[in-house]
Amino acid sequence: MGVKLVRIDDRLIHGQVCSTWIGDYGIEQVLIINDKVSKDPVQKSVVGLAAPAGVRVLVFGVDQFIEVLKKNPIKKDTLLLFTTSTDVLKVVNGGLEIQKVNAGGMRYNETRKRLTKSISVTPEEESAFKELMDKGIEVFVQMVPKDDVVYMKDLI
């Protein structure tokens, strides 16, 4: 029970997450931790529609999640879904204890450096990944569970 997977994917809940990660990890609830989504009522209502039946989806802002976590330990088999490594680092610094982070999708644009086909980072995100690894957290890139694992330490 508790956090089964921490994933960074800027697409949030989509086909790969629903058809593979949720099923393979026996996920009962998805907690999306993202300030922008938490403040957008339309996006908040839409993300829940993409999840499989019976999987609860809740959305929190980053600071809000840190406060909730202090009072309520996670008891259900849970997927924590983030859009950036900087948000993961902030939550870890706020008290979340994790061993691994799966980087699944961070889209490329002109402000980002491409690390793999699916992962591009800003300087701040790259620094956050390094800090997570310095804390002993294993960071790996894997789009779907059947793909080979690529370790972030080999990319940055």
Q: Which residues are catalytic?
A: 14
Is residue 129 a contact partner of residue 156, using CB atoms and an 8 Å limit? yes
Token look-up 């994933």 returns 7
Report the C-alpha gap between 9 and 7 in whole angstroms: 6
Report the C-alpha gap between 32 and 142 in whole angstroms: 19
Please report which helix (H) or strand (E) contains residue 33, including its range: strand 29-33
